Amino acid sequence: DAQHDEETTRLWKLFIGSTVFTIPIMVLAMLPMLSDRFMHAMMQFGSMEKWNWVLLLLTLPVQFYFGGRFLRLGAKSLFSRYPDMNALILLGTLAAFLFSALVTIAPHWVPPESRHVYFEASAVVITLVLLGKYLETRSRHQASDAMKLLLNLVPKMATVIRMGQSQSIPVEEVVLDDLLEVKPGSAIA
């Protein structure tokens, strides 16, 4: 139970930390496209190339710290030649991040019409997958706890009628075609 709580808490903290960085990334990346006023305000503080550096710095912790588990597990699954969802997250987010980093660091290597950054895509995918992992882990632990409770409710002894006689035996000794006696309100063995 302590390990389950620790894992759930760790995933929640990773999700919250990732969200703290992802929200400003989304605002800086998407609002200029939706609002001319916001774009104008941003341009008063610096060119889009300078804002790309801000996005890069905000995305670094999301990509490599908060999303580090996907990078490790994804690389491991790729090298074992059995790619899984972690490999998909690794390839997708790393492609978006590395291309955006290239556009930011060495824009002259990219044709002018292709100089778009996708830091928000990388950050949002990692943040949403962390949320999904947290919800999955929490649900799995709750289901596991519910199963333990149900198993504790199963009686250890069963009342069997054999040759007209009612006798109490361990549940493991009940065989096919045994006639079980179940009294009102009692649990079924």
144-150 long-range Cβ contacts below 8 angstroms, 24+ apart: 144/4, 145/1
For the whole prediction, is pTM greater than 0.85? no
Do 11 and 130 meet the contact criterion of CB atoms below 8 Å apart? yes
pLDDT band at 22 (very low <50, low <70, confident <90, very high): very high
Q: In this predicted model, which residue has the larger pLDDT, 60 or 115?
A: 60
Q: Which two tokens stand for residue 11?
A: 């995933």
Cβ-Cβ contacts under 8 Å for 117 (sequence gap 6 or more): 29, 52, 55, 56, 100, 103, 104
Q: Which two tokens stand for residue 47?
A: 């060119």
pLDDT band at 132 (very low <50, low <70, confident <90, very high): very high
Do 55 and 28 meet the contact criterion of CB atoms below 8 Å apart? yes
pLDDT tens for each residue of 153-189: 778 888 888 888 888 888 888 888 888 888 888 877 7
User: Judging by beta carbons within 10 Å of its beta carbon (0-12, 13-18, 19+), is residue 19 exposed, middle or buried?
Assistant: middle
